[in-house]
Structures are given as structure tokens and as C-alpha cells.
Structure 1
Amino acid sequence: MTGMARFGVFLGLMAIAVLAAAAFGALHNQVSYTVGPDYFHAFKFRQFTIPREMAPRLGAMEVGILASWWMGVLMGLPPLVLGLFTLRPTGRYWRAGLRAIALAVGVTVLTALAGLLFGLVVVTPETAAQVALPVETQDPVGFLRAGVMHDASYLGGVLGMLAAVWLIWRSGRTGR
């Protein structure tokens, strides 16, 4: 295939990476809203200028999409650019790119869940009392648990990107 066709595959894979990251953010925020609604009401809704009259779950979903889509770009660029130049034929590049995106999302999900578990174990009323939070915070424990889960997700995104680069590199070396 021509270079333009390969570039078209790259653009398609990047679009899928962005959509996967946005979908992750929307679903992630449904879980983290359940864990700590105060994290959204005292912090995220204000940060993303979510109108007060919007349904909170819908607002959490919007925050998740806005806070995550760009991670699809950051997570997708390194492995997909590597694949663009190292994987032939185009069909192999497409398949490896889809596997890399799935791996990156999977690593991110697992890291977010580990962050949630960590927050559930470590964040207690005693530890939460030692952290400076927004004045409006009414549930410091839930706020911090949701915050830990969010931070772990960004770490998971970086780890997922590294795993995706490894997968693409390995695909170039093994032919799979």
C-alpha cells in the first residue's frame, strides 16, 4: 500500500485511541462519582464549568470525556508512530495498533482499580483530616478516594502507553 494509505490507517488508529480514552473517562467517572460525589461537586464541576442544573452523573461523564480524550492522543502517538514506520504490511499495522490500544486501556483500567483499592484501604477519616481540601468539601474521605483513583488513572495511562510501545516494538521484531 501507499504511504498515504498507511497514514490513513495511522489517523484511524489515532481516532480510535481518542475515542477509547474518552469512553474510559466517561465510564471511570461513573465509578469515581459513586465513590466520592463530593470530588465532583467541590472540585471537578467547578474546574470544568459544569452547569449546576446538569444532572450530576451526566456532568461526571462530561468531565470524564473532557479530562481524558487528550490522553488518547498522548498514549497513541508514541506506539502508533513507531508502528507507522516499522510494521508492514498495512493490515499488520492495523491489527497491532488495535491490540496496542486495547492493551493501553486495559493497563489503565487495572491501574485505576488499584488506585481505588489503595484509596479504600489507606484513606480513612484520620488520614483525610490531615489533607487540605476545598472548603466546600463535605465528605473528605470520598473526595480523597476519588482523587486517588483519578491520579492512578493518569499513571495507568503512562504505563499503558509504555506497554503499547513494547507491543508494537515486539510486533515489529516477531512479525506478529
Structure 2
Amino acid sequence: MNKFFVLIIILIIAPFLGGIYGILHDQITYTISEEYYSKFKFVQFGLDNWGLGYNISSTKTPEIKLHNPRIGAAIVGFLSTWWVGLCIGVFLGVVGFIQKSGKNMFKVVFKSFLFTIAIAFLTGVIGLIYGKLVVVKGNINWFIPDNLIDIDAFLMVGSMHNFSYLGGVLGLVFGIYYSFKQKVKLNRDTVN
């Protein structure tokens, strides 16, 4: 299998995997704080303009009520992360050229991508815990809608989202390390 062809496949798969991660991530965070979406993310993405719902509050303090908020959370999740998946795919795919064959390149890059997703998720969970133990007790400089009812849940979810992006970067670093490690291992196995 040609390595350039493998890179093209990776660049097709990566945004899809990134988007799926975002959908699942945002289903979890929607469960923790519906207000994070109805009073922030749905507003930020203008989902009321998509014909999916309407503003039940004012222009100053919008609150978007969707006909199906879980679908709204899925849309927000996908739109927030497909591009992160693409960026990670570009980096891991280019680094993957160090592998001996296209087949090995695909295997190593795909595993690296899965490691990146797992690390992003675990880092996000750490962010949720950090949000619960630290952020809700601190003086933060975040956008907080005026009409929030459960501020703690909103802050915890915001913390989880921020940490998840950090986890994507950490996962990418680990994925690149894994790719180089696999190259060294293959070279060592070939010599022996």
C-alpha cells in the first residue's frame, strides 16, 4: 500500500473520528450541565438560527430551547472537534511516513490516533474533577451567563472541555512518541 494513499485515508478518517469523539464527549457533558449548552454553546453556535429551536429568554441573556437538545449537543460536539481530529491526523499522518510500509504506517497511525483520543478523554475527566475541586471554589475570569441556575455544573463542564483540548495536545505528543518508538522497535527486530 502506497504511503501517500494511506495519508489520504488518514485525512478522511481523522476528522470523522474527531467528530465522533466530540459527539460522545458532549453527550456526557450535556448530562452534567444542560445549561452549558442552552445558555452558552447553543447560543454560540446559533442553533436557533438553524430552525432547531428558539430563544426562550432575551437578547441580553439568551437561552436556546431546542426541539431535541441531545441532537443539538451532538451538532456542537461534532463541529467543535472534527477540525481537531483533522489537525491531529495531519501531524500523525506526516510522522507516519517514517514507517517502513504503508500497511505499517496505517496500523501505527491508527493506534496513535486511538491513544490520542483516550488521553484526551482521560484528561477531560481530570478536568471535570479539577472543575469540581478547584474551579467552582476559585475566582475565575470566564464567561458566565447571568441567568444560570447551577453555576457549579456549568464551571465543571467548562473545565472538562478545556482540559479535553489540552488532552488532545498531550495525546498528539504521545502518539508521535509511539510512532517513533514503533519505528525503532521495527528496526531493532529487523536487525535481530
Q: TM-score scaled to structure 1, two decimals?
A: 0.89
Counting only pairs closer than 5 Å after superposition, residues 79-94 of structure 1 correspond to structure 2 as 79-84=92-97, 86-94=98-106
Q: Which residue of 1 aligns with 2:85?
A: 72
Seq. identity, %: 30
Q: Which residue of 2 aligns with 1:27?
A: 24
Secondary structure of 2:21's partner? helix
RMSD: 1.9
Secondary structure of 2:47's partner? coil
CA distance in 1, matches of 2:6, 2:178: 17
C-alpha deviations, 1:95-115, integer Å up to 9, x for none?
101111111111111111111
Indicate if the aligned counterparts of 2:120 and 2:170 stay in contact, CA closer than 8 A.
yes
How far did 1:129 drift?
Answer: 9.1
Q: Which residue of 1 aligns with 2:161?
A: 150
Secondary structure of 2:12's partner? helix
CA distance in 2, matches of 1:159, 1:78: 13
Q: Which amino acid aligns with 2:103?
A: G
Q: Which residue of 1 aligns with 2:35?
A: 38
Match of 1:169 among 180, 183, 187: 180
Q: Against the structure 1 CA distance between its residues 58 and 132, is the aligned structure 2 distance closer, same or farther, given a 3 Å change threshold?
A: closer
**Ranges in structure 2 where 5+ consecutive residues have no aligned partner:** 54-65, 188-192
**Ranges in structure 1 where 5+ consecutive residues have no aligned partner:** none
How far did 1:151 drift?
Answer: 0.3
Q: TM-score scaled to structure 2, two decimals?
A: 0.82
CA distance in 2, matches of 1:109, 1:132: 24
Question: How many correspondences in the alignment?
Answer: 171
Q: Which has the higher helix share?
A: 1
